[in-house]
């Protein structure tokens, strides 16, 4: 599929992107490289200084090159505060407050406030961040109306939730289908024309509330499906079934697509967004239960370790703390909980990751992490862990036990090297 002809695209607008993070920065570069004039806005002055020098600190394949291309073309400029533009795209984080499990909309509020002084008639404010339903109408609209302008009469608010997969962001921004939600059909059409500059997937239009809900449903579907897989894993462990084989076989059914179990769900989206639905609907019991099942998986992993590792185990090594494979992002990672619980129980914990450099994990070289250890727990299935030589690990470790929470390693090879191997969701594994 190729982009629609230029006549259906909007090519001469100035676009302002507020929030140059995982989504805002790639969008800014892509739009600029499609020939549009883009202002990238961020409150972090240090980040802006680095970006002006072409330095990109977000580790996303291909991002650095397209940002540098956009800067060189001079179509991407940076600013500490919003300027006048026709489109204002808000792409700021929406974390949650863990104690109360409510959305923290402070960044959305602050970004919206910052647009007020430059908002003018005919402008369109586009929200890309993931938010609880009615945020556009109830939170952003009253803030923007402080400008003296009226929503949908003088300016419009449109929700266009981001859908790209971290690690494959540049491809997915372009190729994924998109939802554009807004209450002013003319504004929705203009946003569609703007997004047609880079989206080759289908574009569907709807109301802003529906778009907000759709985004949350997508991530909640994934979370609930993973919770089901995690529950299946625990059932399988009790009856001598290999859940990984069982899920593969169940997925041969044309209408079944069960996700994969693991040590829990991490990241800034799937572990958080379901709470935004629960927040507006206290009756959402399934969503809450799924969240709890996934949040409890680190406890389950530690239970497996206590059952499987020998009683005199002192040192446990965690392989991988990123929230998912082959990325350096450790936000909301289940590894953090596994490490904390093990430490509380008095184990010495060593940590290795090929990508994560965050100091709080105190990661070390692999050889240092393995030296004198009694047991390994593979938490993140980075590709590179497949290449670890179990014979070398055997030489370095004091005792030779490994728990694979992702069914990722070549278990036969590890057993041949003299390891006892346990796989999450497979109680047959420790008999092999």
How many residues lie near ligand SAJ (CB under 6 A)? 20
Cα–Cα distance between 429 and 425 in angstroms, integer? Answer: 9
Between 130 and 407, CB nearer to ligand SAJ? 130
Q: Which of residues 282-341 bind ligand SAJ (CB under 6 A)?
A: 323-324
- Region binding ligand SAJ by CB under 6 A among candidate stretches 91-99, 160-168, 388-396, 421-429: 160-168
Min CB(211)–ligand SAJ separation in Å: 13
Of 255, 318, 264, 315, give the one whose Cα is nearest residue 291. 264
- Beta strand residue intervals within 364-413, DSSP E: 375-378, 401-404
Q: Is 354 in the site for ligand SAJ (CB under 6 A)?
A: no
Min CB(174)–ligand SAJ separation in Å: 14
- Write phi, then psi, for 254 (nearest 5 degrees): -65, -20
- Region binding ligand SAJ by CB under 6 A among candidate stretches 88-96, 105-113, 117-125, 264-272: 264-272
Tell me, yes or no, if 136 is annotated catalytic. Answer: no
Asked if residues 167 and 61 have their Cβ atoms less than 8 Å apart, the reply is yes
Between 218 and 430, CB nearer to ligand SAJ? 218
Asked if residues 425 and 297 have their Cβ atoms less than 8 Å apart, the reply is no
Catalytic residue (choose from 269, 324, 420, 422): 269
The beta-carbon contacts of 7-13 under 8 Å, at least 24 apart in sequence, are: 8/193, 8/196, 9/193, 9/194, 9/196, 9/197, 10/190, 10/193, 10/194, 10/196, 10/197, 11/35, 11/36, 11/197, 12/36, 13/37, 13/85, 13/86, 13/87, 13/194
Q: Is 226 in the site for ligand SAJ (CB under 6 A)?
A: yes
Q: What is the largest CA-CA distance in the chain?
A: 74
Considering only 270, 321, 351, 366, the residue that binds ligand SAJ (CB under 6 A) is 270
Between 182 and 274, CB nearer to ligand SAJ? 274
Q: Which of residues 105-144 bind ligand SAJ (CB under 6 A)?
A: 130
Between 165 and 171, CB nearer to ligand SAJ? 165
Tell me, yes or no, if 47 is annotated catalytic. Answer: no
Cα–Cα distance between 158 and 376 in angstroms, integer? Answer: 48
Considering only 82, 181, 262, 375, the residue that binds ligand SAJ (CB under 6 A) is 262
Q: In what order do the strands lie in the sheet with 401-404?
A: 348-352, 315-319, 375-378, 401-404, 420-423
Q: Is 163 in the site for ligand SAJ (CB under 6 A)?
A: yes
Between 320 and 390, CB nearer to ligand SAJ? 320
Residues lying near ligand SAJ in the complex (CB under 6 A) are found at 130, 162-166, 218-219, 222, 226, 259-260, 262, 265-267, 269-270, 323-324
């Amino acid at each position: 599929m190729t982009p629609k002809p230029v006549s259906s695209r909007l090519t001469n607008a100035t676009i302002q992107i507020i929030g140059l993070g995982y989504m805002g920065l790639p969008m800014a570069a892509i739009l600029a490289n499609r020939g549009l004039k883009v202002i990238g806005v961020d409150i972090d002055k240090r980040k802006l200084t680095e970006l002006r020098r072409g330095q990109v600190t977000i580790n996303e394949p291909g991002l650095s090159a397209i940002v540098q291309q956009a800067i060189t073309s001079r179509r991407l400029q940076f600013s500490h505060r919003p300027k006048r533009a026709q489109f204002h795209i808000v792409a700021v984080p929406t974390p949650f407050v863990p104690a109360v499990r409510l959305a923290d909309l402070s960044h959305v509020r602050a970004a919206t406030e910052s647009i007020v002084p430059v908002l003018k008639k005919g402008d369109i404010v586009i929200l890309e961040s993931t938010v609880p339903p009615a945020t556009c109408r109830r939170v952003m609209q009253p803030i923007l109306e402080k400008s003296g302008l009226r929503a949908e009469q003088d300016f419009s608010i449109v929700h266009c939730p981001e859908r790209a997969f971290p690690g494959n962001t540049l491809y997915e921004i372009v190729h994924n289908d998109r939802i554009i939600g807004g209450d002013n059909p003319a504004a929705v059409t203009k946003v569609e024309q703007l997004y047609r500059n880079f989206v080759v997937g289908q574009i569907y239009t709807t109301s802003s509330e529906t778009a907000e809900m759709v985004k949350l449903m997508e991530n909640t579907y994934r979370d609930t499906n993973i919770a089901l897989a995690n529950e299946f894993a625990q059932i399988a462990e009790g009856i001598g079934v290999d859940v990984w084989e069982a899920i593969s076989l169940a997925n041969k059914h044309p209408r079944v697509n069960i996700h994969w179990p693991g040590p829990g769900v991490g990241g800034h989206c799937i572990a958080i967004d379901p709470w935004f639905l629960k927040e507006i609907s206290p009756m959402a019991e399934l969503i809450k239960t799924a969240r709890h099942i996934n949040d409890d998986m680190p406890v389950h992993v530690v239970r497996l370790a206590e059952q499987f590792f020998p009683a005199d185990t002192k040192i446990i090594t965690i392989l991988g703390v990123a929230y998912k494979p082959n990325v350096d992002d450790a936000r909301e990672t289940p590894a953090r909980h596994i490490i904390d619980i093990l430490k509380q129980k008095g184990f010495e914990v060593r940590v290795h990751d090929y990508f994560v450099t965050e100091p709080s994990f105190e990661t070390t070289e692999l050889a240092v992490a393995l030296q004198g250890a009694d047991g390994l727990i593979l938490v993140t299935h980075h590709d590179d862990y497949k290449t670890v030589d179990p014979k070398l690990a055997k030489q370095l470790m004091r005792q030779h036990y490994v728990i694979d929470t992702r069914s990722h390693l070549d278990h036969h090879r590890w057993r041949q090297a003299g390891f006892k191997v346990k796989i999450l969701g497979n109680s047959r594994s420790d008999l092999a």
